[in-house]
Structure formats: C-alpha cells, structure tokens
A and B are shown apart, each in its own frame.
Chain A
Amino acid sequence: MTAPQDPSQDDAHGKAEQTVGSPKGPGQDPSEDVLRAGHPVTPVSAGVGEPSTDHDRSDSAKTANETGNLGGAPLAPSPGAVTAPAHEPRAGSDMFGATFGGDTSGFGGLVRQQPAALSSPRPYGGWFDETVDALQEAYPGFGEAITRVIVDRGELTLHVLPGRVAEVCQVLRDSQNHRFELLSSVSGVDYIDQPDRFHVVYHLTSMTYRRRIRLETAVPLDNAHVASVTRVYPTADFHERETWDMFGIVFDGHPGLTRILMPDDWQGHPQRKDYPLGGVPVEYKGAQIPPPDERRAYA
C-alpha cells in the first residue's frame, strides 16, 4: 500500500488484494465487486486511483474523504493489519469476509479485538510484570531502548531499538531475575506497508525459570542495520546469516555475515515481500492453473 495500486484496483480492494505480482485486481469479476463493495476495511491509504467501475465510485470517494486524501496523491504508508491501532475493537465481518446480508451464521455480529499497537496496559498478568519490572531495574537504558511492551496470546513481546538489541540481550541473559540463557530463534518479518518494514524477532528462553520472551526490532529499508547478538549468544551466528540472506538486514558486529541458504552470488533477498515467488503455470485436466503467486488471493 505504499505505492499507488494498479488502477484496476480501487482503494477498498487494494488492501484485500495486496499480493506481490498479482496482475489481477478483484474488479475483474463484477459479481465479486458487488459482494465486496462497502466492505468496512479499516482506513486504507492505498493511493486512490480513479474509481474504476461505476458501482464502486461512491464507495471509493467516501474512503478518500475519510482518509483526507483526494486526487490520487500517494499517502503515507498505513499501518498494516498486524499493527493497526487497535485498542478499539472492530466489528468483524463473517469468517469468510461477507459483509452484508448473506451471513446467517452470526459471525458477522462478532466483535473482534485487534492486536495491540501501543503498549499493553498494565498489569500484564502472570510473570510478565515481574520480568518487565526487573528489566527496568537491571537495565538503565530501559526508558529509551524499549519502545513498547506487548502481551498477546500469553506471550510477552518487547519492542527494542535496533541498536540496543545486544545490550538488552546481555542484561536478559545475565541478570539474576531473567536468566534467558538460550536464544531459540531469530527471524525476520517484512511488514512491507510500514515505514520500518523489516522486523527482526528474537525468541529467548530461560531454562532456569522456564519462560519465553520475544524481542522485536524494526528497521527501514534504507538503513537496515541491527546490532548483532552473536557476542551474547553465539548461536545467533547462523540465525543472523539466514536473516541477512533472506531479508537483507545487516547485523552490525557479526563475525562473518555471508549468505547461508542461497548461493553466494545470488541477487536479492528472497523472503522480502516484494521479491516474487516465481513459478510456472501448470496444466491440470485441460485447464491452465496459474503459478501460486498469480493465483487469486483472498485477504
């Protein structure tokens, strides 16, 4: 949603059909458009193209007014669904996305809680408060380094500034009240709609207390640098090499940041959302099935 969409995709649909390399907008099928028009998508800020079809016009104009953007100016990237500002619960559509009539299941009446974008309110519950308090005590830079504390689905996530990850890990590993001895996993996530699109996610395990915690940090495309944690956790070596390989995130201080899964001379970073999956169409019983990334996506 950072760039203006294909003109065939009006804004209300841009969100739904945000698939890399998908040449087909949903507007191809009129009946589908009728179904989807008026879908209460959370404010979408895709570049507002000309309304493509008549029955869509009112809808897209409305959305454009709401978001205060007219005339197809490219907008600031909106938070993606994952981090939509969310304390207010959102009335959901039914489980399949139908929004008017039709739904006799009652699911349309459900109110869904969006995941939190701001810090979760205290108390977090369980051992989370204790752990966060102890970190605040043990780590003087807590105030500026930890930007958000999120509790979701029984998991604790600390959002950390990219340059401070190693420090925070050091404290979490060594302080008596934490003892996160094991770095289980490092992975990247590409939230392509956000300004800081690359998130690096660390899963730490405390074998002493049998607890898990997640650290998350976000960096933009043009300055994708994160402090390496290999000095604190030697196991991060392969993990960070993989994340570099797949996302192009540079881990400052890593002893040998080279590709690990892709060949050394590979161009590009395959797990980025704007890197196409590739594939060839296949024939099945006389019908041509397009490659996976060109198949229709229902979002």
Chain B
Amino acid sequence: MTTTSGSERVGGPVEPAEPADVYAAGERETTEGKIYTVTGGDWDQLLADSEGDQRMVVNLGPQHPSTHGVLRLVIELEGETVTQARTVIGYLHTGIEKNLEYRNWVQGVTFVTRMDYLSPIFQETAYCLAVEKLLGVEVPERATVIRVLTMELTRISSHLVGLATGGMELGALTAMTNGFRERELVLDVLELITGLRMNHAYVRPGGVAQDLPPGTEDRVRELVATLRERFGAIDDLLTGQPIWQKRLQGVAHLDLQGCIALGVTGPMLRSAGLAWDLRKVEPYCGYETYDFEVPTEDTADGWGRFRVRVREMHESLKIIEQAIDRLQPGPVMVEDTKIAWPAQLSIGSDGMGQSLEHVKRIMGTSMEALIHHFKLVTEGFRVPAGQVYVAIESPRGELGMHVVSDGGTRPFRVHVRDPSFVNLQSVPATCEGGLLSDTIAAVATIDPVMGGVDR
C-alpha cells in the first residue's frame, strides 16, 4: 500500500516534503526530540492508493463504541469481507498481578476485584478460595452461601451488561437502556450488601467482610420477582425479533472442536453444545447442593450464545432463591483470630469506623486482641509456602487463579487466567471470511471485558 514514487500529491502530510509512505506521519526535530504530526488524508487519495487492489486495512478501536471497550481490531477488508482480523490488546493493562506482590494477602482482594469490572465478586471469590486452599482453612457455611448469593447476582448483572452493550453495538438501543436499567436494580442490592456498586472487596480470605445487613432477604426476594418479570421483556424485545435473529443466527460460528483448541469456555463453549460448567463438573462453594440446569445450545453461533446467557440468568435466579432460603445465622468469617479480620465495621457518628464494642475490647480489656488487630492490619497473616490453581465459572468462562506463596505475608505470584483474555483468541476464527458488520456481532457475543483481558 505504498505510493508509487514520483507521484505528485496534494494535501498529503504536512512535512516532510516528499514522504515515501502516505501513511507515514510528518516529523520535525525540536529541542524536546522528534515530534510526529499525524494528520488525516483525503478519502479519494486513500482509495487511489488501493486501486486494482481491493484490500484495505482498517483499524477498529481502541476508541470505538462498537469494540466492547478498549479493544483494537486490525481488520483487512476486501470489499466488505473481512479477510484477516487481529486483536491488539493491552490498552487497559494496569499491572494488577505485579501490584499484588507488594500488598498483603487481604489487600489483594481490592486489586483482583478491579480486573473484570463487570464480575468483581468472581475474582474475589476465586482469589479467596485459592488463598484458603493454601492456608488450609474452611469457610463458615453462612459465608459460603453469601458468596454464592452475591456471585449469582453478579452473574445476572454481568450478563445484562453483555446483552445491553451487545445490543447497542448491533443497533438495538432499547436493549441497552433496558439492560442497564435492570442491571442497576441488581447493583442496588449488591450495594446494600457490600457497600459499593462495583469493586466490592467484599469477599475476604476466610469469609466475607460483613454480615448481610438487616432486610437483605426481603430485598433480594423482591429483586428476584422483579427480574423474573423484566426478563420477559428480553424475550419480547429481542428473542422473537427478526432483525435480532438475523444479526446473530449463523454469525460468528465456532464449533466445539474450535472452542476447545482455542481454550474458549463459558457461554461460548456451551453454545457449541458442551455442558461444561465448573459449577457442575468441579463444584466449589457447595454448588453441587443447588438445583439448577446448565443451559446449552447446539448452534455454535452468536444466537446460541445469546440464548445461553438469557437462560443462565433464569437459572441464577433459581440459585439465588435457594441461597436465600438456606441462610442460617452464624459467623461469616473463620474463627481463627490469626487470620480473621479483627473487627466488624459499623457506622459511627462520623459515618464510618470501627464497631465501638470492638474498640472498647481491644483498648480496654484484651491486650492480645489489640496485638492481633495491629499485626493483622499492618503486616497481615502468613500463608504457608506452595502453589495452587483454583478455577471457578465466571460469567465469561473459566476464571483461574494460580497463586504462589513463599510463606510470607505477601503473595509471591498471582496469575489470573481471565476467560475474556483467552476467549478473545477466537476473533480471527469467528470473523475471518464474514462481513465487517458481523465482526461487531462476533465481538459482542464473545463479550470480552477489557479490564480482565489486560489486567
């Protein structure tokens, strides 16, 4: 795609005088170093360039409303057919894994929750399960039930955003407004439980940070009833709608073999017909005791993924109801005072703070408790050396935590196998040979979250 030499062109890059490459940026030397000036060109000039050669390379993103976040797609087009699609990631890389190595084990939770920002509770739970496996502690029943409850709430909110942004990318703006509206209902309940809409840092090694506030059960039951009703609107709006069907059916096909070779898990894999859900096949947090189905489709396309996600939300509602029924009073943190976070927070006169009873106890009566509070908060507990890998089923697939400890108070290494990161590898397989507009649909149904991809 370089210009022929000697051709006189008007309106090209400002400087230098005779660029060899029409795409090369103009440059000039300054005292600060070389400065590049990137300017646009004229469309006909660009087209003149590719005359006789219908192929064109288009950069989609990283700032593009249809690429599901800061994902950059480099697409080679022949007419409107995609002949090559490559993903470029890393625009949201924040070095969370490295940062974890400089914080204690409890502080790690506040970092992992920010990775896949649409499913924060899942990272927290996976991380805590890994730390607990290293410690060899068992979490109280109530804490586990609360984890399941919050995870399934998060799964719903995550799938709702998946549908909402996916709908928006395909032009169904009502799907977006509805999806975000419903999601906000879920986030309200999560806020009630954890104190924050997102980035909760609620699940902690050894249990959860706080017990459920009074009235949670009723709020959750109300929410379940509301969502059941509202989910009907998804069917009304999208499932039976011919445009939606045509945009998704037969689009972004990836069969079972392709999924497994590319490591794709989650709704994408289940849309290809394999009922692989870690909640069923490798149960954790007592999922084996809940009654729910693993929805699958056999179309292996965008339509199948949409259907799987919608049906999964219904299954999550079932799990939430069972979890609420199962809540028994009890501790939400391990009894071991060498691990358990020392205080229950309560709202003081300044709107924040420790429980007064706890402060009274550590300052007045128990020096041991004071020491433990101080040591746990400043340096944290030690975790026996070793490594573990824990995988759970996040809304996007297998979320794995490879956690290594050297016996100290900080993680030696934490690696997160983020499902979005792995699933994105299916972009070339699902998009090449299709139309440009189907590429958007493909990425929408893969539903990557760039915070998780780049970490």
Residues of chain A at the chain B interface (Cβ within 8 Å):
80-82, 84, 95-97, 104-105, 107, 112, 114-115, 152-153, 155, 157, 181-185, 187-190, 201, 203, 205, 207, 210, 212, 214, 233-235, 237-239, 242, 246, 259-263, 270-271, 277, 292-293, 295, 297-299
Contacts and interface: CB of A to CB of B under 8 A. Distances in A.
A81 B282 contact: no
A81 B385 contact: yes
Interface in B384-425: 384-389, 391, 398, 400, 402, 404-410, 412-413, 415, 417, 421-422, 424-425
Interface stretch (B90-98, B148-156, B185-193): B90-98
A214 B402 CA distance: 11
Nearest to A238: B425
B81 to A, nearest CB: 23
Interface in B185-214: none
8 contacts: A155-B389, A157-B387, A185-B389, A201-B387, A203-B402, A233-B263, A277-B98, A298-B408
Contacts of A96: 338, 375, 379, 381-382
B260 A181 contact: yes
B99 interface: yes
Nearest to A21: B102
A95 B282 contact: no
B262 A81 contact: no
Given A185-B400, A270-B95, A277-B102, A299 B417 contact: no
Nearest to A213: B389
B67 to A, nearest CB: 17
A82 B408 contact: no
Contacts of B134: 153
B454 interface: yes
Contacts of A295: 102
B99 A299 contact: no
B277 to A, nearest CB: 12
A95 B136 CA distance: 14
A210 B281 contact: yes
B386 A152 contact: yes
A157 to B, nearest CB: 8
A214 B66 CA distance: 38
Given A214-B389, A262-B93, A293 B415 contact: no
B263 A184 contact: yes
Contacts of B380: 298
Contact of A299 (B90, B409, B425): B409
Contacts, number: 145
Contact of A187 (B93, B103, B133, B415): B415
A81 B260 contact: no
A189 B387 CA distance: 11
Nearest to A95: B338
Given A153-B133, A153-B386, A189 B404 contact: yes
B236 interface: no
A157 B389 CA distance: 11
A246 B412 CA distance: 15
B379 A298 contact: yes
Given A95-B381, A153-B134, A263 B90 contact: yes
A207 B136 CA distance: 26
A203 B368 contact: no
Contact of A238 (B261, B282, B389, B424): B424
B89 interface: yes
Nearest to B97: A271
Given A82-B406, A184-B391, A238 B95 contact: no
B425 A297 contact: no
Interface in B408-455: 408-410, 412-413, 415, 417, 421-422, 424-425, 454-455
Contacts of B406: 80-82, 299
Contact of B385 (A114, A155, A271, A292): A114
Contacts of A182: 260, 263, 265
A97 B98 contact: no
A184 B398 contact: yes
Contacts of B263: 182-184, 233-235
B261 A233 contact: yes
B421 A238 contact: yes
B384 A261 contact: no
Given A96-B379, A299-B409, A187 B402 contact: yes
A259 B338 CA distance: 42
Given A185-B415, A187-B402, A203 B389 contact: yes
B388 A155 contact: yes
Contacts of B409: 297-299
B384 A207 contact: no
Contact of A82 (B282, B386, B415, B454): B386
B89 A260 contact: yes
B276 interface: yes
Nearest to B405: A82
Interface string B71-90: 00000000000000000011
